[in-house]
Structure 1
Amino acid sequence: MPDEKGPDHSRRKERSRQAIFAATRTLVAEMPYEKVTVEAIAARAGVGKQTLYRRWPSKSAVVFAALLAMSEDADGQSITLPDTGDLRADLKLVMRATVEEFADPSFDRLVRALNTEISHDAALAAEYHKKLAGPLDEAKKTRLRNAQKAGQLAPDADLDLLLEMLYAPLFQRWLHRSHPLTTAYADALVDAALRAFRP
Protein backbone atom coordinates (compact mmCIF):
# COMPACT_ATOMS: atom_id res chain seq x y z
CA MET A 1 0.00 0.00 0.00
CA PRO A 2 1.29 3.54 -0.72
CA ASP A 3 1.09 4.65 2.89
CA GLU A 4 3.11 1.60 3.97
CA LYS A 5 5.89 2.05 1.42
CA GLY A 6 6.90 5.45 2.80
CA PRO A 7 7.84 4.28 6.32
CA ASP A 8 9.49 1.09 4.95
CA HIS A 9 11.51 3.12 2.48
CA SER A 10 12.52 5.56 5.23
CA ARG A 11 13.62 2.72 7.48
CA ARG A 12 15.67 1.15 4.69
CA LYS A 13 17.22 4.51 3.91
CA GLU A 14 18.14 5.06 7.57
CA ARG A 15 19.59 1.54 7.89
CA SER A 16 21.67 2.19 4.79
CA ARG A 17 22.83 5.53 6.18
CA GLN A 18 23.87 3.99 9.50
CA ALA A 19 25.65 1.12 7.70
CA ILE A 20 27.61 3.65 5.64
CA PHE A 21 28.64 5.61 8.72
CA ALA A 22 29.65 2.45 10.57
CA ALA A 23 31.66 1.26 7.57
CA THR A 24 33.37 4.64 7.27
CA ARG A 25 34.39 4.70 10.91
CA THR A 26 35.61 1.10 10.78
CA LEU A 27 37.68 1.56 7.64
CA VAL A 28 39.25 4.81 8.85
CA ALA A 29 40.22 3.01 12.07
CA GLU A 30 41.59 -0.03 10.23
CA MET A 31 43.79 1.48 7.51
CA PRO A 32 45.68 4.62 6.50
CA TYR A 33 43.17 7.28 5.52
CA GLU A 34 44.53 7.72 2.00
CA LYS A 35 43.71 4.05 1.29
CA VAL A 36 40.06 4.45 2.27
CA THR A 37 37.89 4.86 -0.84
CA VAL A 38 34.23 5.46 -1.53
CA GLU A 39 34.17 2.04 -3.20
CA ALA A 40 35.56 0.38 -0.07
CA ILE A 41 33.02 2.16 2.14
CA ALA A 42 30.17 1.08 -0.14
CA ALA A 43 31.38 -2.54 -0.21
CA ARG A 44 31.75 -2.67 3.59
CA ALA A 45 28.30 -1.11 4.05
CA GLY A 46 26.72 -3.48 1.53
CA VAL A 47 25.44 -0.73 -0.76
CA GLY A 48 26.27 0.45 -4.27
CA LYS A 49 28.76 3.30 -4.56
CA GLN A 50 26.11 5.36 -6.36
CA THR A 51 24.12 5.30 -3.12
CA LEU A 52 26.97 7.23 -1.52
CA TYR A 53 27.47 9.60 -4.43
CA ARG A 54 23.77 10.47 -4.48
CA ARG A 55 24.08 11.73 -0.90
CA TRP A 56 27.65 12.97 -0.62
CA PRO A 57 29.95 14.44 -3.29
CA SER A 58 33.23 13.02 -1.95
CA LYS A 59 34.96 10.76 0.53
CA SER A 60 35.63 13.73 2.81
CA ALA A 61 31.91 14.57 2.87
CA VAL A 62 31.12 10.98 3.94
CA VAL A 63 33.76 11.16 6.68
CA PHE A 64 32.34 14.43 7.96
CA ALA A 65 28.80 13.03 7.92
CA ALA A 66 30.00 9.99 9.89
CA LEU A 67 31.60 12.25 12.49
CA LEU A 68 28.54 14.48 12.64
CA ALA A 69 26.34 11.43 13.23
CA MET A 70 28.45 10.55 16.29
CA SER A 71 27.63 13.92 17.84
CA GLU A 72 23.90 13.86 17.10
CA ASP A 73 21.76 13.93 20.22
CA ALA A 74 19.58 10.83 20.43
CA ASP A 75 16.63 12.88 21.68
CA GLY A 76 17.08 15.65 19.13
CA GLN A 77 17.71 18.19 21.86
CA SER A 78 19.92 21.21 21.27
CA ILE A 79 23.51 21.04 22.50
CA THR A 80 23.90 22.19 26.10
CA LEU A 81 26.72 22.16 28.62
CA PRO A 82 26.24 21.19 32.26
CA ASP A 83 25.22 24.12 34.43
CA THR A 84 25.35 23.21 38.11
CA GLY A 85 26.19 26.77 39.14
CA ASP A 86 29.84 25.80 39.65
CA LEU A 87 31.62 26.98 36.49
CA ARG A 88 34.98 25.44 37.39
CA ALA A 89 33.47 22.01 38.02
CA ASP A 90 31.32 22.18 34.87
CA LEU A 91 34.24 23.15 32.63
CA LYS A 92 36.46 20.45 34.10
CA LEU A 93 33.74 17.88 33.40
CA VAL A 94 33.50 19.01 29.77
CA MET A 95 37.27 19.20 29.24
CA ARG A 96 37.80 15.76 30.77
CA ALA A 97 35.13 14.37 28.43
CA THR A 98 37.03 15.95 25.51
CA VAL A 99 40.23 14.22 26.63
CA GLU A 100 38.36 10.90 26.79
CA GLU A 101 37.00 11.42 23.27
CA PHE A 102 40.46 12.02 21.85
CA ALA A 103 41.70 8.90 23.65
CA ASP A 104 39.15 6.78 21.74
CA PRO A 105 41.10 5.35 18.76
CA SER A 106 38.12 5.35 16.39
CA PHE A 107 37.28 8.98 17.21
CA ASP A 108 40.95 9.97 17.00
CA ARG A 109 41.43 8.48 13.52
CA LEU A 110 38.17 9.97 12.22
CA VAL A 111 38.95 13.48 13.44
CA ARG A 112 42.52 13.31 12.12
CA ALA A 113 41.14 12.24 8.74
CA LEU A 114 38.67 15.12 8.75
CA ASN A 115 41.37 17.63 9.69
CA THR A 116 43.49 16.38 6.80
CA GLU A 117 40.63 17.18 4.43
CA ILE A 118 39.73 20.51 6.04
CA SER A 119 43.30 21.74 5.68
CA HIS A 120 42.92 21.95 1.89
CA ASP A 121 39.14 22.10 1.37
CA ALA A 122 37.64 25.50 2.21
CA ALA A 123 34.09 24.38 1.44
CA LEU A 124 34.37 21.44 3.84
CA ALA A 125 35.90 23.72 6.48
CA ALA A 126 32.92 26.06 6.16
CA GLU A 127 30.50 23.14 6.42
CA TYR A 128 32.34 21.83 9.49
CA HIS A 129 32.07 25.22 11.18
CA LYS A 130 28.42 25.65 10.25
CA LYS A 131 27.20 22.22 11.32
CA LEU A 132 29.52 21.17 14.14
CA ALA A 133 32.15 23.59 15.45
CA GLY A 134 29.90 26.66 15.37
CA PRO A 135 26.95 25.13 17.28
CA LEU A 136 29.36 23.59 19.81
CA ASP A 137 31.07 26.93 20.38
CA GLU A 138 27.72 28.67 20.78
CA ALA A 139 26.64 26.12 23.40
CA LYS A 140 29.88 26.72 25.29
CA LYS A 141 29.43 30.49 25.11
CA THR A 142 25.87 30.20 26.40
CA ARG A 143 27.26 28.48 29.51
CA LEU A 144 29.96 31.16 29.86
CA ARG A 145 27.41 33.97 29.51
CA ASN A 146 25.44 32.41 32.37
CA ALA A 147 28.66 32.47 34.40
CA GLN A 148 29.11 36.16 33.58
CA LYS A 149 25.59 36.90 34.80
CA ALA A 150 26.38 35.01 38.02
CA GLY A 151 29.54 37.08 38.54
CA GLN A 152 31.89 34.13 37.99
CA LEU A 153 33.56 35.66 34.93
CA ALA A 154 34.53 39.22 34.12
CA PRO A 155 31.56 40.95 32.44
CA ASP A 156 33.78 42.13 29.56
CA ALA A 157 35.51 38.75 29.10
CA ASP A 158 36.23 37.85 25.47
CA LEU A 159 34.46 34.49 25.34
CA ASP A 160 35.99 33.46 22.01
CA LEU A 161 39.45 34.05 23.47
CA LEU A 162 38.54 32.13 26.61
CA LEU A 163 37.47 29.13 24.52
CA GLU A 164 40.69 29.31 22.53
CA MET A 165 42.70 29.32 25.76
CA LEU A 166 40.84 26.21 26.88
CA TYR A 167 40.83 24.19 23.69
CA ALA A 168 43.74 25.30 21.49
CA PRO A 169 46.49 23.89 23.77
CA LEU A 170 44.55 20.64 24.13
CA PHE A 171 44.09 20.37 20.37
CA GLN A 172 47.76 21.13 19.70
CA ARG A 173 48.94 18.41 22.08
CA TRP A 174 46.59 15.96 20.42
CA LEU A 175 47.46 17.00 16.86
CA HIS A 176 51.23 16.88 17.36
CA ARG A 177 51.18 13.91 19.77
CA SER A 178 53.73 15.91 21.73
CA HIS A 179 52.49 15.00 25.21
CA PRO A 180 49.83 12.65 26.53
CA LEU A 181 46.41 14.16 27.12
CA THR A 182 45.44 13.71 30.74
CA THR A 183 42.62 14.83 33.00
CA ALA A 184 45.21 16.69 35.07
CA TYR A 185 46.18 18.72 31.99
CA ALA A 186 42.51 19.41 31.22
CA ASP A 187 41.99 20.62 34.80
CA ALA A 188 45.08 22.84 34.60
CA LEU A 189 43.75 24.52 31.44
CA VAL A 190 40.46 25.28 33.17
CA ASP A 191 42.23 26.74 36.21
CA ALA A 192 44.51 28.90 34.05
CA ALA A 193 41.65 30.21 31.90
CA LEU A 194 39.48 31.05 34.87
CA ARG A 195 42.34 32.91 36.56
CA ALA A 196 42.79 34.98 33.38
CA PHE A 197 39.10 35.88 33.11
CA ARG A 198 38.02 36.11 36.73
CA PRO A 199 35.92 39.15 37.73
Structure 2
Amino acid sequence: MAGKFITIEGIEGVGKTTNIEFIKSWLTQQNIEFITTREPGGTELGEQLRELLLHGGDVCSSAELLMMFASRAQHLEQVIKPAIAQNKWVICDRFTDSTYAYQGGGRQLQTHVISQLEQLVHGDFQPDLTLLLDAPVEIGRARAAKRGAADRIEAEDLSFFNRVRDMFLNRAKQAVRFSVIDATQSLDSVQADIQTRLNQLKTEAAQ
Protein backbone atom coordinates (compact mmCIF):
# COMPACT_ATOMS: atom_id res chain seq x y z
CA MET A 1 0.00 0.00 0.00
CA ALA A 2 1.30 3.43 -0.94
CA GLY A 3 2.24 5.97 1.68
CA LYS A 4 -0.16 8.88 2.17
CA PHE A 5 0.15 12.36 3.62
CA ILE A 6 -2.79 13.58 5.74
CA THR A 7 -2.92 17.02 7.32
CA ILE A 8 -5.28 18.16 10.06
CA GLU A 9 -6.22 21.83 10.01
CA GLY A 10 -8.47 24.29 11.83
CA ILE A 11 -8.52 27.13 14.30
CA GLU A 12 -7.83 26.64 18.00
CA GLY A 13 -10.35 24.55 19.93
CA VAL A 14 -11.82 22.49 17.08
CA GLY A 15 -10.54 19.14 18.39
CA LYS A 16 -7.46 18.44 16.30
CA THR A 17 -5.61 16.63 19.08
CA THR A 18 -8.59 14.42 20.00
CA ASN A 19 -9.24 13.48 16.40
CA ILE A 20 -5.61 12.79 15.61
CA GLU A 21 -5.78 10.19 18.39
CA PHE A 22 -8.84 8.72 16.66
CA ILE A 23 -6.98 8.59 13.33
CA LYS A 24 -4.04 6.85 15.00
CA SER A 25 -6.40 4.22 16.45
CA TRP A 26 -8.04 3.68 13.06
CA LEU A 27 -4.69 3.26 11.31
CA THR A 28 -3.56 0.77 13.96
CA GLN A 29 -6.76 -1.25 13.47
CA GLN A 30 -6.15 -1.26 9.71
CA ASN A 31 -2.54 -2.43 10.16
CA ILE A 32 -1.27 0.62 8.31
CA GLU A 33 2.21 1.83 9.26
CA PHE A 34 2.20 5.51 10.15
CA ILE A 35 3.92 8.35 11.93
CA THR A 36 2.43 11.45 13.51
CA THR A 37 4.12 14.82 13.51
CA ARG A 38 3.33 18.51 13.79
CA GLU A 39 4.06 21.97 12.45
CA PRO A 40 5.85 24.03 13.33
CA GLY A 41 8.07 21.31 14.73
CA GLY A 42 8.68 17.68 13.87
CA THR A 43 12.49 17.96 13.90
CA GLU A 44 15.05 19.29 16.35
CA LEU A 45 15.32 22.52 14.38
CA GLY A 46 11.56 22.73 13.96
CA GLU A 47 10.89 22.33 17.67
CA GLN A 48 13.38 25.09 18.48
CA LEU A 49 11.64 27.37 15.99
CA ARG A 50 8.25 26.38 17.42
CA GLU A 51 9.33 27.53 20.87
CA LEU A 52 10.39 30.89 19.49
CA LEU A 53 7.22 31.25 17.42
CA LEU A 54 4.78 30.40 20.19
CA HIS A 55 6.55 31.59 23.31
CA GLY A 56 9.26 33.98 22.17
CA GLY A 57 9.23 37.74 22.42
CA ASP A 58 8.41 40.21 19.70
CA VAL A 59 8.54 38.41 16.33
CA CYS A 60 7.57 40.49 13.31
CA SER A 61 5.11 39.01 10.80
CA SER A 62 7.70 38.51 8.05
CA ALA A 63 10.10 36.74 10.41
CA GLU A 64 7.23 34.55 11.62
CA LEU A 65 6.44 33.56 8.03
CA LEU A 66 10.05 32.73 7.20
CA MET A 67 10.47 30.71 10.39
CA MET A 68 7.39 28.66 9.51
CA PHE A 69 8.85 27.75 6.13
CA ALA A 70 12.32 27.11 7.56
CA SER A 71 10.76 24.60 9.94
CA ARG A 72 8.75 23.10 7.07
CA ALA A 73 11.75 22.69 4.77
CA GLN A 74 13.62 20.69 7.43
CA HIS A 75 10.48 18.73 8.29
CA LEU A 76 9.86 17.67 4.70
CA GLU A 77 13.46 16.66 4.08
CA GLN A 78 14.08 14.88 7.35
CA VAL A 79 10.70 13.36 8.28
CA ILE A 80 7.75 13.60 5.91
CA LYS A 81 9.18 12.60 2.53
CA PRO A 82 11.34 9.74 3.89
CA ALA A 83 8.34 8.24 5.70
CA ILE A 84 6.15 8.37 2.58
CA ALA A 85 8.97 6.82 0.55
CA GLN A 86 8.82 3.90 3.02
CA ASN A 87 5.06 3.57 2.29
CA LYS A 88 4.09 4.91 5.69
CA TRP A 89 1.15 7.24 6.21
CA VAL A 90 2.08 10.60 7.70
CA ILE A 91 -0.42 12.37 9.95
CA CYS A 92 0.56 16.00 10.40
CA ASP A 93 -0.99 18.49 12.78
CA ARG A 94 -0.97 21.58 10.50
CA PHE A 95 0.91 22.24 7.28
CA THR A 96 1.07 25.00 4.66
CA ASP A 97 -2.68 25.70 4.74
CA SER A 98 -2.17 26.96 8.28
CA THR A 99 0.46 29.36 6.99
CA TYR A 100 -2.00 30.78 4.48
CA ALA A 101 -4.63 31.00 7.22
CA TYR A 102 -2.58 32.44 10.09
CA GLN A 103 0.07 34.48 8.34
CA GLY A 104 -1.98 35.27 5.22
CA GLY A 105 -5.43 35.64 6.75
CA GLY A 106 -4.61 36.49 10.35
CA ARG A 107 -1.47 38.60 9.84
CA GLN A 108 -2.72 39.84 6.45
CA LEU A 109 0.54 39.11 4.66
CA GLN A 110 0.29 38.94 0.89
CA THR A 111 -0.67 35.47 -0.23
CA HIS A 112 1.47 35.65 -3.37
CA VAL A 113 4.54 35.90 -1.10
CA ILE A 114 3.39 32.79 0.78
CA SER A 115 2.83 31.06 -2.55
CA GLN A 116 6.40 31.86 -3.65
CA LEU A 117 7.78 30.36 -0.43
CA GLU A 118 5.52 27.34 -0.83
CA GLN A 119 6.88 26.78 -4.34
CA LEU A 120 10.45 27.11 -3.09
CA VAL A 121 10.03 24.72 -0.16
CA HIS A 122 7.75 22.01 -1.51
CA GLY A 123 6.63 22.87 -5.01
CA ASP A 124 3.86 20.55 -6.22
CA PHE A 125 4.15 18.25 -3.18
CA GLN A 126 0.78 18.49 -1.39
CA PRO A 127 -1.20 16.47 1.14
CA ASP A 128 -3.28 13.60 -0.19
CA LEU A 129 -6.04 14.56 2.23
CA THR A 130 -6.60 17.65 4.35
CA LEU A 131 -9.20 17.36 7.10
CA LEU A 132 -10.40 20.84 8.02
CA LEU A 133 -12.17 20.78 11.36
CA ASP A 134 -14.42 23.82 11.29
CA ALA A 135 -16.36 25.66 13.98
CA PRO A 136 -17.30 29.31 14.64
CA VAL A 137 -14.47 31.23 16.25
CA GLU A 138 -16.42 31.89 19.45
CA ILE A 139 -16.91 28.15 20.02
CA GLY A 140 -13.28 27.31 19.29
CA ARG A 141 -11.94 30.05 21.54
CA ALA A 142 -14.20 29.00 24.41
CA ARG A 143 -12.95 25.42 24.15
CA ALA A 144 -9.31 26.50 23.83
CA ALA A 145 -9.57 28.74 26.89
CA LYS A 146 -10.13 25.66 29.04
CA ARG A 147 -6.65 24.35 28.17
CA GLY A 148 -4.80 27.01 30.15
CA ALA A 149 -2.60 29.98 29.30
CA ALA A 150 -2.65 31.09 25.66
CA ASP A 151 0.53 31.14 23.58
CA ARG A 152 1.61 34.13 21.48
CA ILE A 153 -0.70 33.28 18.58
CA GLU A 154 -3.64 31.98 20.62
CA ALA A 155 -3.69 35.34 22.41
CA GLU A 156 -4.72 37.20 19.23
CA ASP A 157 -8.13 38.87 19.07
CA LEU A 158 -11.46 37.73 17.62
CA SER A 159 -11.01 39.52 14.30
CA PHE A 160 -7.66 37.77 13.78
CA PHE A 161 -9.25 34.34 14.18
CA ASN A 162 -12.24 35.22 12.00
CA ARG A 163 -9.78 36.06 9.22
CA VAL A 164 -7.96 32.78 9.88
CA ARG A 165 -11.17 30.76 9.65
CA ASP A 166 -12.27 32.58 6.49
CA MET A 167 -8.95 31.81 4.82
CA PHE A 168 -9.19 28.13 5.76
CA LEU A 169 -12.68 27.92 4.24
CA ASN A 170 -11.55 29.75 1.11
CA ARG A 171 -8.64 27.35 0.73
CA ALA A 172 -11.03 24.40 1.11
CA LYS A 173 -13.07 25.62 -1.86
CA GLN A 174 -10.01 25.59 -4.10
CA ALA A 175 -8.73 22.01 -3.75
CA VAL A 176 -10.44 18.61 -3.85
CA ARG A 177 -8.00 17.25 -1.25
CA PHE A 178 -9.95 19.13 1.42
CA SER A 179 -12.72 17.61 3.49
CA VAL A 180 -14.48 20.12 5.72
CA ILE A 181 -15.72 18.49 8.94
CA ASP A 182 -18.34 20.26 11.06
CA ALA A 183 -16.62 20.29 14.45
CA THR A 184 -19.78 21.47 16.23
CA GLN A 185 -21.30 18.01 15.78
CA SER A 186 -21.08 15.34 18.45
CA LEU A 187 -17.65 13.71 18.64
CA ASP A 188 -19.12 10.45 17.30
CA SER A 189 -20.47 12.27 14.24
CA VAL A 190 -17.18 14.08 13.66
CA GLN A 191 -15.28 10.82 13.80
CA ALA A 192 -17.77 9.04 11.55
CA ASP A 193 -17.15 11.73 8.92
CA ILE A 194 -13.40 11.36 9.34
CA GLN A 195 -13.59 7.58 9.05
CA THR A 196 -15.54 7.86 5.78
CA ARG A 197 -12.74 9.91 4.24
CA LEU A 198 -10.05 7.61 5.63
CA ASN A 199 -11.76 4.58 4.10
CA GLN A 200 -11.83 6.36 0.74
CA LEU A 201 -8.15 7.18 1.01
CA LYS A 202 -7.29 3.60 1.95
CA THR A 203 -9.09 2.37 -1.17
CA GLU A 204 -7.11 4.82 -3.30
CA ALA A 205 -3.83 3.77 -1.66
CA ALA A 206 -4.49 0.12 -2.40
CA GLN A 207 -5.08 0.66 -6.11
TMscore range, shorter length:
0.3 to 0.5
Normalized per residue, the structure richer in strand is: 2
Normalized per residue, the structure richer in helix is: 1
Structure with more contact order per residue of length (Cα contacts < 8 Å, sep ≥ 6): 2
TM-score under structure 1 length normalisation: 0.35
Kindly name which structure, 1 or 2, has the bigger radius of gyration based on alpha carbons.
Answer: 1
TM-score under structure 2 length normalisation: 0.34
